[in-house]
Structure 1
Amino acid sequence: MSGDGPRQVNEALLDHLRSIFGRLSSVNRVSLFPPNRQESLVIEFETAAYPESIGAVRLEVRAYTNGDFHVSYLETHIGELRQCRFDRHDQNHNSRDHFHPLPDASTGDAQDREFPTDLTTVIREVVLPWVETRFGDLWDDA
């Protein structure tokens, strides 16, 4: 799929991802279309296994029927929000597939990427391995 056509929320895909994340023991809560993120699936990770300095870790997933997506990783570290984002959408700063790195997901630091076609595969093969590596990095820095 390309970014052509109207951008409508892919409710079926987000609901499918909700059911998958809802079964994971590392996930504390899953919210589909919460009031403050009406186009998103919000996944809050259990932080008991994280270093004490980490107050919250979550993913926010937006998926659209035209193939566009945004997967944001957000962590609260000693009260400071850190974030990065895996994106597929047309814009003028990078290729359609790109990554906005930590600590602030800035457009100026965005990096061109090439993600698998299917968002479920992107999450399984790109995002979750990145989250796991980040978990290890947080402990290395603790």
Structure 2
Amino acid sequence: MDKEELLGKELSNLYAISKQVNNFFNGSKIGFLNERRKTMLEEYLKLSCKYENDIAESLRHINVNPGNTTDSIVQEITENLQEILSESGIKKDSKQLSYMMSLNRLISYHVANIENIGFLLNEVELKNAS
């Protein structure tokens, strides 16, 4: 596998992450979060939606079809978020904290994927410049 193929795989993975995040949070019940946390989540989702659209276009440009690609780590984290949402009988503060810690894991994973793509793009550009 060359660097361009690896880049296509990473872009497909970023597309899957964004798509899964957007699907999970679409209509998600976040009323228990305080306003600051809701705003933070809303801003993250705006970026995630933008990435989904931008990456879909990039994938079309390089003739890569991500198909039904899913990311198992995102699946695990969103399942955990859903479990937190479903729990009853826990204090609101504890629920917010648990939810935000899982959300932080999700965002960090998403950011790590974006950083990997930046690293790969730099490598591909260096190769093409040689």
TM-score of Structure 1 vs Structure 2, range by shorter chain: 0.3 to 0.5
Structure 1 or 2: larger strand share?
A: 1
TM-score of the two chains, using structure 2 as the length reference: 0.34
TM-score of the two chains, using structure 1 as the length reference: 0.32
Indicate the structure whose relative CO is greater, using CA pairs within 8 Å and at least 6 residues apart. Answer: 2
Bigger-Rg structure (1/2): 2
Structure 1 or 2: larger helix share?
A: 2
